[in-house]
Amino acid sequence: KAEEFAKDPQIKAQLELQYRGTIAQAVARDFVESNPATDAEILAEYETQLEQSSDKQYKARHILVESQGEAEALINQLNEGEDFEALAKEFSTGPSGPNGGDLGWFAPDQMVKPFADAVVALDDGAYSKAPVQTQFGWHVILREDTRENEPPTLESVRDAIKQRVEQEKFQDYMQGLRDGS
């Protein structure tokens, strides 16, 4: 029965794919072992990540609705003294709605750009005076607080950065092979 299966074209194709996958994994493993990330490369990548990260974190709430009109009506209610958290619980369609729209602490690069830009432009304790549109819908945003961003220590992210550097080196190697063929 095994000999019969070994002649089946579909089985042959599956075996060939597994063979090629195993060889590719061995090549990648050998490359990484022969070209490990150096301390200088790890430090350079860490510093690049620090430069790209925000120096501030923000604590905010939001109310997500489907239309601009709904968002404007909510802003009018806030202007009349309504409670942001209560409005978020009642009207927000987002997953944070039941928690009063609480998004916790985040860096701007963790949010979509229009949302992040709006949060950064607000003062602590202020809410957006105009709705903010993203691919998720229309937002009314309350920036509650700001703090300095505490970047992770190099040691706490060393393994992840090492892996990223080694993957990039391998991708560059593979691209060089493709370009040369």
The amino acid at 130? A
Q: How many CB atoms lie within 10 A of CB 111?
A: 19
Query: What is the reported pTM?
Result: 0.61
Lowest mean per-residue pLDDT among 98-102, 106-110, 173-177: 106-110
How confident is the prediction for the chain on average, in pLDDT?
94
Question: How far apart, in whole angstroms, are the C-alpha atoms of residue 26 and residue 148?
Answer: 44
Question: How far apart, in whole angstroms, are the C-alpha atoms of residue 103 and residue 95?
Answer: 10
Question: How far apart, in whole angstroms, are the C-alpha atoms of residue 22 and residue 24?
Answer: 5
